[in-house]
Amino acid sequence: MHHANHFYGHANIMASYAGYTKPPYIWGYLQHGWNILDGFAHGTTFAPGMPKYVWSDSVRRRGHSMGLRNYSVIGSVWLYLLKVHPELATPAEDAEGTIFYPFHGWEGQHVLGDHGRIVASINEHETKPVTVCLYWNEYEKPAIRNVYKNAGFRVITHGYRGLHWQRTDTKFLVNQLRELRKHRRVASNRLSSAVLYGASLGLQPGVYGDPMVLENEHPSFGGQARIKRLWPELDQPFVPPPIAREFTDTELGVDHLACPAEIRELFRWNP
């Protein structure tokens, strides 16, 4: 099983959906985040003939245009999470305010930007209460965390996504689902998985503020300029709900969900 299949507890979620208590090895590569290219991180080395499980047909088409094959479109793991946790199908009765996700880096690349400018943007567009969710990379740095705390925001993290099968918080997405359910709006300084997840639950999405820069970002993804060019209607503080719903359903792959038996067959989990 490729180690990225474990990110955010994805393998565990798919195992629960398919009727397993622990995840067997997934035969192939599982898309772990919203992706504007072939569905996977730049530099991923694919073993010949191994399948690629992606969220949407748009990802499959882009992959095919790059000469890649063996794609299966199965929808996002997030949608399977909602099936596994029907008790979280509705918003909390006291849901209020906004949860904001600043663009983040990871172990190999840091984000370069001014978090103070993000605070100013949040204050311009939101009314409190505001929760700021930092990725663990930024959350563990007091200098960044305190910028948001000193602004009067609640500051949290959903956990550690994992790397090379180590320290994976298998409840990461469950934590995220619970937090999103506590809010009425979801926003970020970049269009991202978190914005799609919130919009899929009916939260009012927004994208605004300094998009920041990812250290040594590979040009094949086209950067933030490509996202703004392809989806300008999503780059605004208050995205109209019908637009958000259409985009989210397409990118998360609502029409491509597989049943438990199909997942067991695709992942080679049958005896």
Structure tokens at 1: 């099983």
Looking at residue 105, what is its pLDDT?
A: 63
Cis-peptide into 129, omega within 30 deg: yes
Looking at residue 95, what is its pLDDT?
A: 94
Whether the pLDDT of residue 123 is over 70: the answer is: yes
Structure tokens at 132: 């700021």
Looking at residue 59, what is its pLDDT?
A: 96
**Is there a contact between 199 and 248 (Cβ–Cβ < 8 Å)?**
yes
The domain segmentation of the chain, as residue ranges, is: 3-86+253-266, 91-241
Whether the pLDDT of residue 165 is over 80: the answer is: no
Closest Cα to residue 34, out of 248, 254, 266, 259?
A: 248
Q: Which fold has domain 91-241?
A: Rossmann fold (3.40.50)
Closest Cα to residue 158, out of 5, 3, 1, 7?
A: 7
**Mean pLDDT for the chain overall:** 91
Whether the pLDDT of residue 231 is over 90: the answer is: yes
Question: What is the rounded average pLDDT of the residues 184-208?
Answer: 96
Q: Phi and psi dihedrals of 111, rounded to 5? A: -95, 135
Structure tokens at 127: 């009314």
Task: For residue 171, name the pLDDT band (cuts at 50, 70, 90).
Answer: very high
- pTM, entire model: 0.94
**Is there a contact between 55 and 251 (Cβ–Cβ < 8 Å)?**
yes
pLDDT digits (tens, 9 = 90+) for 253-266: 999 999 999 999 99
Q: How far is CA 194 from CA 71, 134, 187, 204, in A?
A: 24, 11, 8, 12
Looking at residue 138, what is its pLDDT?
A: 87
Closest Cα to residue 110, out of 143, 77, 78?
A: 143
pLDDT digits (tens, 9 = 90+) for 48-107: 999 999 999 999 999 999 999 999 999 999 999 999 999 987 888 899 999 999 987 656
**Is there a contact between 35 and 251 (Cβ–Cβ < 8 Å)?**
no
Closest Cα to residue 24, out of 50, 49, 6, 7?
A: 6
